[in-house]
Amino acid sequence: MVRGINNLSDARYCAGMGADSLTFRLDPALPGYLTPEVVQELSGWVAGVELLGEFDTLPVAEINALVQQCGLHAVLLHRRRTPEELGQLSVPALKLIRWVPDMLPEDVDLRFREQAPSYLGFVLATPPEPLPNPAETTRLTEQARTYPVWLGSDFAPNGTLRAYVEQLRPAGIVLQGGDEIKPGLRDFDEMEAIFEQLEEE
């Protein structure tokens, strides 16, 4: 999953490198949000990937309208919604969650159990600082094998992403899109290194 796609260079590069899904910020409450017209234009140049919209405060009715207008396959929700709201969505929803350093393991498990029936999975995109210790990594491994969890690539120490993925077996890895240096010009060195680590042998 590549989040925050905002230019054609990223969209075409990530689709070509085998990304499963691209996300677009379609909620005006989110920084760097895109108009549906821009999303339609970008998505028209890619094929073979799922298109997701990221939403924060927008009402469900407006989300559904954007889903239809932009041809989205799913949505990534930033804040928790009621079961009634989730039931009104026209496509499946993923939930963006954050790492809470002082949260007790049993409370983390409860959070997953309570929300799991309503969501396609969970996106834990931003790792804590410092990175999870061995005990926390063990717990995260258990959670990733119990629930569909997408993890940010920065959870893995530098150069160990392939081994980290094989250890935790998450549902997917989350990368972050970037800005073009100028229209049509983008530095993909960092992203290319990540794709190479994840490439199937």
Any idea where the domains of the chain sit in the sequence?
2-198
- Enter the tokens of residue 181: 């240096």
- Enter the tokens of residue 41: 């234009």
Q: Packing angle between helix 105-115 and helix 134-146, nearest 10 degrees?
A: 20
What's the pLDDT score for residue 201?
47
DSSP letters, 159-191, are T-HHHHHHHH--SEEEEE----SBTTB---HHH
- Enter the tokens of residue 16: 């070509």
pLDDT tens by residue, 34-77: 999 999 999 999 999 999 999 999 999 999 999 999 999 999 99
What's the pLDDT score for residue 178?
77
Rounded distance, CA 80 to CA 53, Å? Answer: 16
13 contacts 191 by C-beta, under 8 angstroms: yes
Is the pLDDT at 200 greater than 70, yes or no? no
What's the pLDDT score for residue 181?
60
Q: Which of 24-28, 58-62, 125-129, 159-163 shows the lowest mean pLDDT across its residues?
A: 159-163
2-198 has which CATH code? 3.20.20.70
pLDDT tens by residue, 157-194: 887 899 999 999 999 999 998 776 666 667 677 788 78
Average pLDDT over residues 69-96: 96
8 contacts 180 by C-beta, under 8 angstroms: no
Out of 10-19, 87-96, 186-195, the most confident range is 87-96
